[in-house]
Amino acid sequence: IKDNPFARLLTARMGWDYRTLPPAHTLEYAKFQANMYKEVIKYFKENNVRVVNMSWRYGVAAYEGMLSLNGVGKNDEERKKMAREMFEIEKKALYEAFKSAPEILFICGSGNENNDAGFQEYIPASFQGLPNLITIGAVDNEGKKTSFTTEGKSVRFYANGFEVESFVPGGDKVKFSGTSMASPNVAN
């Protein structure tokens, strides 16, 4: 930004509960998340946002895990059904929010689990068919795919995501690896 006086930053932060035992999701929370996606994209439109970097993703398995850890549901089958219902609410809302903003380019990291974004149903990394969404995998400084990068049909490009010099709170620089380092390279 300091080298480009015409660039402006607008920050929107996703926050998750990082307690040892995160609370279980509920249908009410899924609906809250779905509405939040709609409202955030509306906010981006109102503020003429052109490019959004998203260094986050999650899938239905995260819901199943939280339900299980909290003892919600009679058994795994019931938890899977509950998790699927909540996840589909959020997945559909996020997809529709992106679709409603063709003037904004969304760039997301694919993931760092050496798996397939589509098989894991990561959102937004698994979304396909949106011309304004690009999913990014990670390569090293030689241009070779890293051992950790998530791949799949939705991963359209790769960028440096290995030992990327990154700023941490307070202004210090630390080398980090991940698709959360690769996607901002593309957004830039």
- Each of the 188 residues of the chain gets a pLDDT tens digit; together they read 567 777 788 888 877 777 778 788 899 999 999 999 999 999 999 999 999 999 899 999 999 999 999 999 999 999 999 999 999 999 999 999 999 999 999 999 999 999 999 999 999 999 999 999 999 999 999 999 999 999 999 999 999 999 999 988 899 999 999 999 999 999 98
Q: What is the pTM of this model?
A: 0.91
pLDDT score for 2: 65
Alpha carbon 144 to its chain centroid, in Å, reads: 23
Q: What sign results for the dihedral spanned by CA atoms 105, 92, 38, 18?
A: negative
Q: Which residue has the tokens 């930004």?
A: 1
Do 108 and 98 form a contact (C-beta atoms < 8 A)? no
- Distance (Å, whole) CA 122 – CA 139: 20
pLDDT score for 7: 76
CA dihedral 129, 131, 133, 134 (to 10 degrees): 100
SS3 55: coil
Find the farthest-apart pair of alpha carbons in the chain and give their distance in angstroms, rounded: 57
* Residue 56 to residues 5, 63, 71, 180, Cα–Cα distance (Å): 28, 15, 26, 7
- Distance (Å, whole) CA 124 – CA 59: 9
Q: Given phi > 0 = left and psi -120 to 50 = alpha, else beta, which region is 69?
A: alpha
